[in-house]
Amino acid sequence: MEISLDGKVALVTGASRGIGKAIAASMAEAGAKVMLNSRKQDALEAAAAEMTGEVDVFAANAGDDDAGQRAVQATIERFGGLDILVNNAATNPYYGPTMGVDKSRYDKTFQVNLDAPIFWTQAAYEHAMKDKPGVIINIASVGGLRAESGLGVYNLTKAAIIHLTRQLAGEIGPNRVVGIAPGLVQTDFAAYLVDNFGESLAARLPLERLGDPQDIANLAVFLASDQASWITGETYVIDGGAGVAGSGG
């Protein structure tokens, strides 16, 4: 099966590194025109320079009130439309017990991880997908499905993203809204977890390795493609078997 995104236009948040960068590069390689978004212009330009295909960049903090509106409009002006939105940008300024979080870091986590996907999707829907249905891909986390020490606040946002995916799929069909819930992936964002727990976790996984950003990108490209045209409302776990580790004989 050949997966093609020819003729599609994608906008990917948090696209200068890690999972977002891999998704943007893979979508461009599959034929899509891709707008990369993250906070820093220089990081975006460096990422875009490594990609093949037609790409451009739009620097903005995903959590800013009007960032989604501006990025969507810039994408439409640059590429003539918008067919795919990947809500990938995330932050995690607090690691510790849920009852210990301060209001500032709590608000920041929700602003980027939940508010941004809602309002970026709203902008994509109003300016492009209301008249020409497209695909929204929300990057969640297995932490949105399982309790984890130290990540309670972050995981609250990811649990909400999983529910948002189902909610919007019912509200804005025939647009498709799908989610991806990665386990521990080797990225700069997850460096603390990878450095401190990665080796021991990988040893317990059925597939005996941590995730790579490309693992997530491969699934994202499929879900964005016409081959996935009867898939909506669901969030797909991709975690190397972490959810079943220890259940063998």
The catalytic residue positions are: 154
Contact between residue 96 and residue 74 where contact means Cβ atoms under 8 Å apart: no
CA distances from residue 201 to 97, 143, 148, 195 in whole angstroms, order as listed: 21, 15, 13, 11
List, as one string, the DSSP characters of 124-137. HIIIIITTS--EEE
- Closest among 165, 168, 167 to 178, alpha carbons compared: 165
Residue 151 is given by DSSP the state B
Residue 119: count of CB within 10 angstroms of its CB: 18
